[in-house]
């Protein structure tokens, strides 16, 4: 389970301060698929960064499997992220000049998986997204949909417990988008991996078990039973 308790994130200093998350408390059940919705600037990315330990809120708790990750030293947070979380972020995108295999290998190197164990995991991830035939290609020579599938392979290669996907179908045509969605939901259901999707796409959001709507740095609505606990 992922639990946020009274999380407040402030950007900037003094006069330029901006509170992007205001006392946010929410719950995400293990193995659920959850859509995070909200207008541009509402705080969705800030929330994802807080949950994944990419950024440190000034206040509150981010409890994952019973551990408050805000209490961990930054090296431990990096390890935790490398082992437990897979990212499909536009900004985290592939190294174009490197091969498909090398791109998928990267998270395993960060998680210090021994070289001998990597090949098997990489091949399995590439087969899962149907990119095994392209494994020697340079990443930049793939089509848009193939790049997105490569991003999924990279996100799942380390057997994460949680997958974050930021607009995973944003730049894809509807047919390719549908395939990418299917891959993500299959993985969520088959492996019991928690899937957290940030999206503006109402249809994609509806396919998730739960929806959490963020407005002006607060949780406006959550369909997780008992999912909003109003902090004082
Ligand atoms: N490094 C920063 N310094 C100052 N303000 C920031 C910083 N990062 C984000 N913000 C502000 O925090 C608010 C929330 O930003 P965030 O990126 O979380 O929104 P979002 O909901 O993900 O938006 P979008 O859908 O456009 O990606 C915005 O008003 C933004 O301007």
The pLDDT of residue 107: 87
- Residue 97 φ then ψ, to 5°: -80, -10
Give the atom of ligand 1 at the shortest distance from the alpha carbon of 38. Answer: 21
If one residue of 14, 38, 41 were mutated to test the ligand 1 pocket, choosing by the most ligand atoms within 8 A of its CB, it would be: 41
Domains of the chain and CATH, by start: 2-222 (3.40.50.300)
The values of phi and psi at residue 221, to 5°, are -155, 140
Let me know if 229 is exposed, middle or buried by CB neighbors in 10 A (0-12, 13-18, 19+).
middle
What is the predicted pLDDT for the residue at 21? 97
Gap from CA of 10 to ligand 1 centroid (Å):
11
Q: What is the CA radius of gyration of the chain?
A: 18
DSSP category for residue 138:
B
H or E segment and range at residue 178: helix 174-191
Residue 215 CB: number of other CB atoms within 10 A?
13
CA nearest neighbour of 151 among 97, 91, 212: 91
Taking the whole predicted model, whether its pTM rises above 0.80 is answered as yes
20 lines ligand 1 (CB under 6 A): yes
- Predicted confidence at residue 91, as pLDDT, reads 56
Q: Say how far apart CA 144 and CA 28 lie, in whole Å.
A: 31
Give exposure, 41-58, as e/b (b: 16+ Cβ within 10 Å).
Answer: ebbbbbbbbbbbbbbebe
CA of 5 to the centre of ligand 1 (A): 20
Predicted pLDDT of residue 177:
84
Q: Which residues of the chain have pLDDT under 50?
A: 231-232
Complex ipTM tops 0.95: yes
């Amino acid at each position: 389970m992922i639990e946020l308790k009274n999380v407040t994130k402030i950007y900037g200093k003094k006069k330029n301060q901006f509170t992007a998350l205001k006392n946010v408390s929410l719950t995400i059940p293990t193995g659920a698929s959850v859509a995070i919705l909200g207008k541009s600037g509402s705080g969705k990315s800030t929330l994802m960064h807080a949950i994944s330990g990419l950024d440190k809120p000034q206040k509150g708790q981010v409890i994952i499997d019973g551990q408050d990750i805000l209490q961990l030293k930054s090296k431990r947070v990096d390890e935790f992220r490398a082992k437990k979380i897979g990212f499909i972020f536009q900004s985290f995108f592939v190294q174009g000049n490197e091969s498909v295999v090398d791109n998928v290998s990267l998270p395993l190197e960060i998680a210090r998986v021994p070289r001998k164990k990597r090949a098997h995991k990489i091949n399995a991830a590439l087969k899962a997204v149907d990119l095994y035939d392209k494994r020697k290609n340079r990443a930049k020579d793939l089509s848009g949909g193939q790049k997105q599938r490569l991003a999924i392979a990279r996100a799942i290669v380390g057997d994460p417990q949680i997958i974050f996907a930021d607009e995973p179908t944003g730049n894809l045509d509807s047919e390719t988008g549908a395939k990418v969605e299917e891959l993500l939901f299959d993985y969520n259901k088959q492996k019991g991996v928690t899937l957290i999707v940030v999206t503006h796409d109402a249809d994609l959001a509806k396919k998730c078990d739960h929806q959490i709507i963020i407005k002006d740095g607060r949780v406006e609505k959550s369909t997780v039973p008992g999912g909003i606990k109003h902090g004082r």
